[in-house]
A = this chain, B = another copy of it.
């Protein structure tokens, strides 16, 4: 039942609880000789960290990391790279008020039933804090991808009913980081920010959608049958807390199209490369990248922790009131962006290494 490992050849194993001593990640399979940019890792962590803007949780977690191994004289050595994140405030707080209560739509109940014994402090290992390890590992994956001119860019395309209909090709993705919502359209971003503020004022939370685009992929990534590139991306995305749906290329809307409309015509471009004219396939055919952009969407539900009283039960089934407390995200989307990118980068790097064995 070990389940804290992701990837086959570029393989990460994460550990740690939200309010335990530390979280961390071991990356096994990173090739030797990569000149690691530690600052870039911290930059990615800063994009994920709480307190970075007014519309995310105001908790203070510096999210500084320490590199413990696999790194020598500025380069990776081919041995496991371990990164450590100390929890700063774990000791002090009192969690006895939720110890035996099952918060609605949290993992309290299922963990208690599954394991019999759990760390209830701040959600334990089911806390979103766990993603700090993913983002750091993803930052290393991104550095490997950058060597091959592969980029992974995500942004928020929907918050509640506010939906950005512009296709990603017509957006200037370099503007994604210009606003706290991480929506590259400034006007829409302003509306989304306004909505999130309102929702927070109500003590409530709201969901949304993240879009992600991967450019520069070589042809041939992804394995036929079970480990199709989009199947592994789907698993990667759905493993993120609060994810409820995944679609790539034409996605759910694609079901409305007829084959004659949906099929992507092959043509030869001016450089003599074979490309497709349209890209309903989302850059993947038969589970294998075809050299076009890979793009997909991930739906996230509203955060379960709200600042309102809710009815629930305790472990004995007795009715109790759960009160909203603490500093939480009114909307997970802005901070989901670097996490989506990290999981996508990890998936792609793994398939890059796997593809090394296709031919004699």
- Check if A185 is an interface residue, CB within 8 A of chain B: no
Near B by CB (< 8 A), chain A positions 105-162 give: 105-107, 109-111, 113-119, 121, 124-126, 130, 144, 147, 158, 160-161
1/0 per residue A23-60: CB within 8 Å of B?
A: 11010110111100000000000000000000000000
Q: Which of A76, A77, A78, A288 has the most CB of B within 10 A?
A: A78
Give chain B residues whose Cβ lies under 8 Å from the Cβ of A231. Answer: 234-236, 238-239
Instruction: Check B251–A245 contact: CB distance below 8 A.
Output: yes
Selecting from A164-172, A174-182, A186-194, A201-209, the interface stretch reads A201-209
18 sampled A-B residue pairs with Cβ under 8 A: A2-B29, A5-B5, A15-B70, A15-B82, A22-B84, A33-B116, A130-B225, A205-B260, A207-B255, A207-B256, A244-B251, A245-B246, A245-B252, A245-B254, A246-B247, A251-B299, A259-B305, A265-B310
Bound-complex Cα distance A67 to B23 (A):
11
The copy count of this chain in the complex is: 4
Bound-complex Cα distance A342 to B196 (A):
41
Near B by CB (< 8 A), chain A positions 73-121 give: 73, 75-82, 84, 102, 104-107, 109-111, 113-119, 121
Q: Which residue of B lies closest to A120 (CB)?
A: B72
Give chain B residues whose Cβ lies under 8 Å from the Cβ of A124. Answer: 72, 77, 79
Instruction: Check B285–A109 contact: CB distance below 8 A.
Output: yes
- Check if A173 is an interface residue, CB within 8 A of chain B: no
Instruction: Check B303–A105 contact: CB distance below 8 A.
Output: no
With A29-B1, A111-B224 known as contacts, the answer to whether A245 contacts B244 (CB < 8 A) is no
- Check if A223 is an interface residue, CB within 8 A of chain B: yes
Instruction: Check B239–A244 contact: CB distance below 8 A.
Output: no
Q: Which residue of B lies closest to A10 (CB)?
A: B2
Bound-complex Cα distance A274 to B246 (A):
30
Interface residue total, chain A, C-beta cutoff 8 A: 156
Instruction: Check B252–A287 contact: CB distance below 8 A.
Output: no
- Check if A232 is an interface residue, CB within 8 A of chain B: yes
User: Which 3 A-B residue pairings sit nearest by Cβ, starting from the closest?
Assistant: A107-B286, A3-B223, A245-B247
Q: Which residue of B lies closest to A351 (CB)?
A: B1
A69 touches which of B23, B113, B236, B286 (Cβ 8 Å): B23
Bound-complex Cα distance A244 to B297 (A):
11
Instruction: Check A274–B69 contact: CB distance below 8 A.
Output: no
- Check if A13 is an interface residue, CB within 8 A of chain B: yes
- Check if A301 is an interface residue, CB within 8 A of chain B: yes
Instruction: Check B3–A26 contact: CB distance below 8 A.
Output: no
Give chain B residues whose Cβ lies under 8 Å from the Cβ of A281. Answer: 105
With A111-B288, A126-B286, A299-B255 known as contacts, the answer to whether A9 contacts B16 (CB < 8 A) is no
With A225-B14, A244-B251 known as contacts, the answer to whether A258 contacts B302 (CB < 8 A) is yes
CB distance from A25 to the nearest CB of B (A): 9
Bound-complex Cα distance A355 to B110 (A):
13
Instruction: Check A220–B114 contact: CB distance below 8 A.
Output: yes
With A13-B26, A32-B116, A231-B235 known as contacts, the answer to whether A313 contacts B359 (CB < 8 A) is no
- Check if A64 is an interface residue, CB within 8 A of chain B: no
Instruction: Check A252–B252 contact: CB distance below 8 A.
Output: yes
CB distance from A358 to the nearest CB of B (A): 6
